[in-house]
Amino acid sequence: MRLSIWPGAGQRYDDILDMARHAEATGWDGVYVADHFMPNAGPGRDPDGPTLECGTLAAALGAAVPRVRIGTLVYGNTYRHPAVLANMAVTADHVTGGRFTLGVGAGWQVNEHEQYGIELPPVKQRLDRFVEALEVLHGLLRRPSTTFAGEYYQLTNAVCNPKPVQDPLPILVGGGGERRMLGIVARYADIWNTWGRPDVIAHKSAVLDEFCAKQGRDPRAIARTAQALVVADGPLPEVHFPVIGGSPGALADALAEYRAGGLDEFIVPDGLLGRGAERLKAMDTILAVGRAA
């Protein structure tokens, strides 16, 4: 099972780069960044806190760190036109020499849409738009030219050149909705990602398998990735996100459970890892436990 790190974009670039370089040097497999323009508004959060932009950050890390994969968790479709995003992804893939994973999602964070005056449609319309965006991305990244006449996107003999270094450049779809989103994953994704503890991921992965069977697609064609907050050694906090660990032994058990459930990659957000030397030490502990689990 691959292990990747997810530095929060609400910190200095130098600190993010330090994490990425440490991951590179110590044997982690990938580095991911999120696509938001501000923190999510909510209790205990600073809604005006600094946030670095995802596309620029991913390309910068890809140029500075030469081995690990670089990915996005995940570009928001509501504020990134898929034709523009396809060109961004190709450029990132060339910058990284073929190490880029294009993570995309339907979009969800309310405050950034409100502040920037960007429409956040109801869920059904948002997913309809996302399906069209995935059609556009597949066309531009994988075919010589694309003509598409959708309700939300229209392309005429559109090209995206050069093509990616990777053939194909992997498209990761983020989301865990069992009524529709996992069906979208089954149709369009090379990689699936969502949050969850091992039991939740195993359940949703089985649902994804069912959608693949309905669509006649081999479920093994879709890599499975997930994340949860991690405590390398210490008490588990009461938070709204799934969290694992608390001790090296408990962390090993959780990672082994993910692996047994068929997970291909576990991604570690840095939110509970501390800062500076403490964070790098936690990364070392997690990596050692993960490789031994």
Tens of pLDDT, residue by residue, the chain (293 residues): 999 999 999 999 999 999 999 999 999 999 999 999 999 977 667 778 899 999 999 999 999 999 999 999 999 999 999 999 999 999 999 999 999 999 999 999 999 999 999 999 999 999 999 999 999 999 999 999 999 999 999 999 999 999 999 999 999 999 999 999 999 999 999 999 999 999 999 999 999 999 999 999 999 999 999 999 999 999 999 999 999 999 999 999 999 999 999 999 999 999 999 999 999 999 999 999 999 97
Give yes or no for a contact between 90 and 45, defined as CB atoms under 8 angstroms apart.
no
How far CA 169 is from CA of 62, 185, 213, 236, 248, in Å, comes to 15, 16, 24, 37, 35
d(CA 144, CA 142): 7
Q: How would you classify residue 28: left for phi > 0, otherwise alpha for psi between -120 and 50, otherwise beta?
A: beta
The pLDDT value given to residue 245: 97
Superfamily of domain 2-292: Luciferase-like domain (3.20.20.30)
The pLDDT tens digits of the residues spanning 1-27 come to 999 999 999 999 999 999 999 999 999
Six-digit token pair at 168?
A: 């194909």
- What is the number of residues in the chain? 293
Placement of tokens 């991913």 in the chain: 58
The pLDDT value given to residue 47: 77
Query: CB neighbours of 289 closer than 8 A, spacing ≥ 6?
Result: 232, 248, 251, 252, 255
First to last CA, the chain: 10
Domain ranges of the chain: 2-292
SS3 label, residue 265: strand
Of 191, 175, 190, 182, nearest to 211 by C-alpha is 182
Instruction: Determine if the pTM surpasses 0.85.
Output: yes
d(CA 190, CA 178): 18
The pLDDT value given to residue 174: 98
